[in-house]
Structure 1
Amino acid sequence: MNDTQGLTGPQEHPGPLDLATIAAGVERTNELLTRVLAEVATTPSTHAIFVDAGYVYAAAGRLVTGTEDRRTFDLDAEGLIEAFIDRARTIFPDSRLLRVYWYDGARRRIHTTEQQSIAELPDVKVRLGNLNANNQQKGVDSLIRTDLESLARHRAISDAALIGGDEDLVSAVEAAQGYGARVHLWGIEAVGGRNQAEPLLWEVDSQRTFDLDFCKPYVTRRAVYEPFGDAPVHQGPAPTRDDVRFVGARVAAQWLGSRGRASLAELLPGHPYLPGPVDQELLVEAEALLGLSLRGHADLRRALRDGFWDHLRTQY
Structure 2
Amino acid sequence: MNDASPPTQADPGPPDLDAPDAGRPHLGALLAAVERTNELLQRVLAEVATTPSTHAIFADAGYVYAAAGRLVAGTEDRRTFALDAEGFIDAFIDKARAIFPDSRLLRVYWYDGARRRIHTAEQQRIAELPDVKVRLGNLNANNQQKGVDSLIRGDLESLARHRAIGDAVLIGGDEDLVSAVEAAQGYGARVHLWGIDAVEGRNQAEPLLWEVDSQRTFDLDFCRPYVTRRTEGYEPYGEAGAGGPAPGRDEVRFVGAQVAAQWLAARGRDSLAELLPGRPYLPGPVDQELLFEAEALLRLSLRAHADLRRALRDGFWEHLQAQY
- TM-score, normalised with respect to structure 2: 0.69
Q: Which residue of 2 aligns with 1:130?
A: 138
* Larger Rg over CA atoms: 2
| Aligned match of 1:167 | 175
Deviation at 1:134, TM superposition (A): 0.5
In structure 1, the residue matched to 2:303 is: 289
2:103 is equivalent to residue 99 of structure 1 = no
Q: Which amino acid counterpart does residue 96 of structure 1 have in structure 2?
A: R
Cα distance in 1 between the residues matched to 2:104 and 2:80: 36
After the TM superposition, which parts of structure 1 deviate over 4 Å for at least 4 consecutive aligned residues?
1-6, 224-227
Q: Verify: 1:61 aligned to 2:86, yes or no.
A: no
Q: 1:47·1:157 contact (CA, 8 Å) conserved in 2?
A: yes
Q: Is the 8 A contact 1:225 1:288 kept in 2?
A: no
- Indicate yes or no: 2:54 matched with 1:51: no
1:200 to 208, 219, 240: 208
Q: Identity rate of aligned residues, in percent?
A: 76
CA distance in 2, matches of 1:235, 1:73: 22
**Alpha-carbon offset, residue 15 of structure 1:** 2.5
Tell whether 2:283 aligns with 1:258. Answer: yes
Work out which of the residue numbers 176, 184, 191 in structure 2 matches 1:176: 184
Contact 1:149 1:176 in 2 (8 A): yes
CA offsets, 1:122-169, max 9 Å, x none?
A: 000001111111110000001101111111111111111000000000
Deviation digits for residues 180-205 of structure 1 (CA, Å, limit 9, x no counterpart): 11111000111111000001111111
Letter in 1 for 2:195: G
Query: Which residue of the partner structure matches residue 249 of structure 1?
Result: none
* Pair 4,211 (structure 1): closer, same or farther in 2 beyond 3 Å: farther
SS in 2 for 1:50: strand
In the alignment, does 2:257 pair up with 1:235?
A: no
CA–CA separation in structure 2 for the residues paired with 1:78 and 1:3:
95
User: SS at 2:283's partner residue?
Assistant: helix
Is the 8 Å Cα contact of residues 164 and 187 (structure 1) preserved in structure 2?
Answer: yes
The amino acid that maps onto 1:183 is: V
Give the superposition deviation at 1:106: 0.7
Contact 1:72 1:225 (8 Å CA) reproduced: no
Q: Which runs of 5+ in 1 are unaligned?
A: 237-252, 261-280, 282-286, 292-316
Are the equivalent residues in 2 in contact too, given 1:50–1:102 (CA < 8 A)? Answer: yes
Residue of structure 2 in register with 1:278 after alignment: none
Q: Say which of 210, 215, 234 aligns to 2:218.
A: 210
Structure 1 length as normaliser, TM-score? 0.71
| Post-superposition offset of 1:61 | 0.6
Query: 1:286-305 CA deviation, whole Å, 9 max, x = no partner?
Result: x85138xxxxxxxxxxxxxx
Separation in structure 2 between the aligned mates of residue 102 and residue 29 of structure 1, nearest angstrom: 44
Q: CA RMSD in A?
A: 3.0
